[in-house]
Structures are given as structure tokens and as C-alpha cells.
Amino acid sequence: MNNKTPKGLRIIRTARTEQEINNAANKGFWPLVKPVIPSPKIKSKYAIVQHPITGKIEVIGDFRSSQGMAKAIDFTFYYPHHFPSPFAAYLIPRDIQPGETVWIEDLIEDIVKSIWNQGDAFRLESCEAVWNGVDFDIQFEERHTSNMTG
């Protein structure tokens, strides 16, 4: 298992279950436990369209995709992520020093990565962070402008 990024940053992994957290603690990591709080800003949309003769359905996510089909469910937004527990932990190596820049592989916090012009807001999954001795200072600013891709 690679423990450094191509830029030489140490990779911080995330445990998302009690067993994973305790296994990491047994291996010498300090679990920095945090609640998993879904952000109302993170959202995806869908609609279900149905062929009027065959009854077959299709899930669509683009407002422009429903030509010739009847809507069985109109467009609605939902939180698109599912995590195994309401808490998670960053696995902190015992030798980490304040000021060290690392790569967090699986962010616990919900941070908006980008927003599609049709309203979908995508979650930042990983990024650089700086260890301040107690927690990580995430090195990413939420964007409030619309982008075409997620």
C-alpha cells in the first residue's frame, strides 16, 4: 500500500466503521473521530421517465434528456452519498508534526467541489490538508460559481 502521493505527501486514510477504527488504533494510529454530517449543499437530481408503450423506465439527470418520454417521477434533488456509520476517523500517524501537509484520501467533511449549472453540487472526496496539532486545516475553498462538470 502506497503511503505517499507523487508529490511526496503522506496519505492520511479514513476509517468509517468501529471495527476499522479499532483495528487502526491497534496498529498504532490515533483515530481522530468526527461525526459524519451530510451537507444540504451537496445534492444530485434525478427524474424517472417511462416509455408510453413498453413501460420501460430510464433514470435521467439532465433537464434536457426527457424528450418523447412521460415523467413517472419529476426532477427531484437528493443527497447522493451513503456511509456505513454516522461517524468516521482520520487515522493519524503518531509521528505527524504540526505544519505537515498531507493528502487526505477520504474526506469526512462535506465540502462542495463544484456546482453544475443545473443545480447539482458535487462533493470533494480528497485533498491536501495541514495538520495543526489538533485537527486538519483543509486546503480547499468551496466554489460558489457554476461549472459544467463535477
Question: Within this chain, do residues 121 and 97 fall inside the same structural domain, yes or no?
Answer: yes
Question: Within this chain, do residues 95 and 34 fall inside the same structural domain, yes or no?
Answer: yes
Question: Within this chain, do residues 11 and 68 fall inside the same structural domain, yes or no?
Answer: no
Which three cell numbers mark 141?
475553498
Domain coverage including residue 11: 1-38+81-150
* pLDDT in 10s for each residue of the chain, 150 residues: 567 877 889 999 999 999 999 999 999 999 999 999 999 999 999 999 988 888 999 898 887 776 667 888 989 999 999 999 999 999 999 999 999 999 999 999 999 998 888 888 999 999 999 999 999 999 997 655 444 444
| 89, burial (CB in 10 Å: exposed 0-12, middle 13-18, buried 19+) | buried
Question: Within this chain, do residues 63 and 102 fall inside the same structural domain, yes or no?
Answer: no
Question: Within this chain, do residues 10 and 72 fall inside the same structural domain, yes or no?
Answer: no
The domain tally of the chain equals: 2
**In the block, residue with C-alpha cell 491497534:** 26
